[in-house]
Chain A
């Protein structure tokens, strides 16, 4: 099935795409059919910069448990940052 479930948010930072580094301005997160992964559905993240065209994109397709582990690792890492660096 197509879930179509999509979350979009603004982000600030950089990503490395097919043509090198670029500033990312937006992210979309959705659970749907992957393009490359073999599972029927994956948690997909696109870090994009629409002002630079559709190819300015860093894409991830992760199985649900991997995506959750990654999210928890990100939060755990952020929680350990000294207050002065946040």
Chain B
């Protein structure tokens, strides 16, 4: 496999036909491959999100990260855009699903696509990855410590998200969940509720709960980074995508 890669900002068609910005990274190997839609964390479409997107391309996948805050702040720096999105109550669920659908369609249009699509999201993106997988027909989904899947946000907060565990019955694909045992958003008890819902719905899932890790243990530029959990988590992701995005 060649390790050549191309990464660039592109425009895709999102929810209700809106043009939105996205970061595309693709292996230039030429072999048909699966596509990965990276859903950025609440701090936004930032350097870390783009680095993760390139990482998937380095492993041979077509990868794209839509800028979910583009409408609020076109052209703004990621932190300003995240602040604007926060002040506005966050990303509405229906808009998120439309944007992920647009990103998936964009990837499927590539000659190097094998037609299979996964979503992966971190933090708020973890919930959104599960939401997308319950709303769209895709082939794999990864939820990295997504909060508010099971429990509602504390009262009085301006963010417009509701629990979505009841959607488990609609999950269209296998789900990989990676969580920290010391996390409170989501807490291990909430993860257990989600696991039970998936079992009750007869869905295929694989959850890993890392001791000594809290929220955002994948995030290498924060003190929350836990190398052992992150290293094992990445290995689980490669194995999971190797199984679910392959056409063999």
A interface vs B, CB < 8 Å?
1-6, 8, 26, 28, 30, 32-33, 35, 38-40, 46, 48, 50, 53-55, 57, 59
Contact = CB atoms under 8 A, between A and B. Distances in A.
Majority secondary structure of chain B interface residues (helix, strand, loop or mixed): loop
Contacts, number: 73
Interface of B: 42-43, 46, 72-73, 76-77, 79-84, 86-87, 123-124, 147, 153-154, 157-159, 183-185, 214-216, 222-224
A54 B80 contact: yes
A47 to B, nearest CB: 10
22 contacts: A1-B147, A1-B215, A2-B42, A2-B123, A4-B185, A5-B157, A6-B87, A6-B159, A28-B86, A35-B46, A35-B79, A39-B223, A46-B87, A48-B84, A50-B87, A54-B83, A55-B73, A55-B76, A55-B77, A55-B80, A57-B83, A59-B79
Given A4-B159, A5-B154, A38 B223 contact: yes
Contacts of B79: 35, 59
Contacts of B159: 4, 6
Given A30-B86, A40-B223, A50-B87, 7 more contacts: A1-B147, A4-B159, A4-B185, A6-B158, A35-B43, A48-B87, A55-B76
